[in-house]
Structure 1
């Protein structure tokens, strides 16, 4: 914890009800997924992990607390693990612009790195906020809760709801209240723009299970009726908890853009299981989250920021302290196999 004299402002009307934002550095990348494929090494598509530096296929709630550090602000106060499929760009020959071929004789790909926060330049990529209107009813997230948001199987003709997962160019100035311009696939953003993504996790819990057979049924999204009833949790999942969400930006730069258009044309997710030659990539956008926050730290961000309707940046807990800075993990990058789909 670090002392701070900065007191957060109130959240803007018609925007976040109350919110806490943190920066995280990239920890490592692998073909593991401890929620969907527990104890099965290299069974998933290529993921990029943030948070706990030792997350792998064997990770459990207990191991997250006892092993590793965190690439996120707060370090051991937040040993949670955050992961999502790697964003990939076609590899081109820098001299003639031809598409490169990998060692398997297939078109080559490279990872598009996200703009992540550090102590010099804040770029908050993980938010914790209110998903319902009644702020006092919100509870902390139970230790060990596992959640998946979005559908890894989505493809053309099965586009996802952009209130859950979405893409946009930073230059669009997209905003939920005044300019809801979002895409279910990766848009062609021109350099030096940034491609941005948002993933909103469900925030209504059944109050019993930390996971479920499909890793989703124990959670659901609030009912949003508008008018006097506002947003609230349904009777099937009556417990409103703090809502996690991911917000990433990817620079459209010369080392990853399409040479002719100097844009994000051709980018895809490692989880895309459809041909992106004719269809824009990114329709399989989804994220995984495994909670290992220190309970007192989670309670503080809920009580001081979210319930008070504040907009807390840079890990500011609104009590004269903020979480300590980020740190890198191993930043290990494995070979891209089968366009990111893995073994």
Structure 2
């Protein structure tokens, strides 16, 4: 179903909040303040959106994103959170690489790269959104997925990390756990849905995952109950990252053996290593107020800014290296010899 149709159907009855918004690119850099705090450079390249207080070290309690940021690349002007995923590369037949750029989603065509972010109380197609949720707290952070996953069995531990081969910009199905095997006319969309059950106490955990859980049975979509260990239902955070593969869709440029040519910035050609990170940074209780409102996408309590302001917010790269935005590079940044699985 097309996005415009979803919004039209949502107008037939009142609902609780589901928000969908675009975020332009903040920076593409080899930093990871969640997994590798203070390490410059981090092991692999990321594409990052959100508040401009993003830096190599962002320890809980020492870094208030909403207070320290002066702008955000996201449409909600009160959202100074940071969201990031790995960067994607195309590997040519001669073994050289070029970074695949991102593009805006439907409704955000003018934004500079970045991604689309959702906060949902029920699944996307549920226009009532009746399940009440507790917004994330200051200092909250989490990640989902694992860059070391190299098999479907390992990737299945994170059931809601998928890919969509876009036939056009409204394509949403089917979804796969590995990279598409054929050229995608409108790009590759990477979908990341985070767990929705919180332990109610810890805003982080050593592995950045254990304070969160999937439902005890069923799924988020089926409104499965949270386990006793993680009883607090939080919004489902979802990223849609659209990589513009147009320049790389000529099959004559793909590997001679017919395999697909895309590779994550940490060296994964399977796609099973898909992962994403999140640092909460909404100002005051602005996210909770939005979640409590009866609205679907267009929420009166969500203050917004124009795409021009989103595009104007950026930070300089901390790591000075060639990341394959111009000419071809011999290896992936931070990945010596770039051995491809």
Structure 2 CA distance for partners of 1:67 and 1:171, relative to 1, 3 Å? same
Q: Distance in 1 between matches of 2:109 and 2:242?
A: 17
Q: Deviations over 1:137-181 (max 9, x none)?
A: 311111111010112211035452374100121229765xxx5x2
1:66 equivalent in structure 2: 67
1:45 equivalent in structure 2: 44
How do residues 19-58 of structure 1 correspond to structure 2 at under 5 angstroms? 19-58=18-57
How do residues 225-244 of structure 1 correspond to structure 2 at under 5 angstroms? 225=218, 230-244=223-237
User: What SS is found at the alignment partner of 2:332?
Assistant: helix
User: What SS is found at the alignment partner of 2:291?
Assistant: helix
Residue 91 of structure 2 corresponds to residue 90 of structure 1: yes
What is the aligned counterpart of 2:289 among 293, 300, 305? 300
User: Displacement of 1:120 after TM fit?
Assistant: 6.0
What is the aligned counterpart of 1:127 among 114, 118, 121? 118
Structure 2 CA distance for partners of 1:17 and 1:258, relative to 1, 3 Å? farther
User: Displacement of 1:211 after TM fit?
Assistant: 0.6
8 A Cα contact 1:46 1:342, kept in partner? no
Root-mean-square deviation over aligned CA pairs: 3.3
- Larger displacement relative to structure 2 (24-33 or 115-124): 115-124
Q: Deviations over 1:193-230 (max 9, x none)?
A: 3211100011111011011111100001123438xx84
- Larger displacement relative to structure 2 (36-45 or 213-222): 36-45
User: Displacement of 1:84 after TM fit?
Assistant: 0.5
8 A Cα contact 2:152 2:177, kept in partner? no
User: What SS is found at the alignment partner of 1:65?
Assistant: helix
Gap runs ≥5 in structure 2: 1-6, 324-329, 337-341
1:112 equivalent in structure 2: 100
2:4 equivalent in structure 1: none
Residue 183 of structure 2 corresponds to residue 190 of structure 1: yes
Structure 2 CA distance for partners of 1:35 and 1:131, relative to 1, 3 Å? farther
Equivalences, count: 299
User: Displacement of 1:322 after TM fit?
Assistant: 4.6
Give the TM-score of the pair, scaled to structure 1. Answer: 0.75
- Larger displacement relative to structure 2 (133-142 or 244-253): 133-142
Give the TM-score of the pair, scaled to structure 2. Answer: 0.76
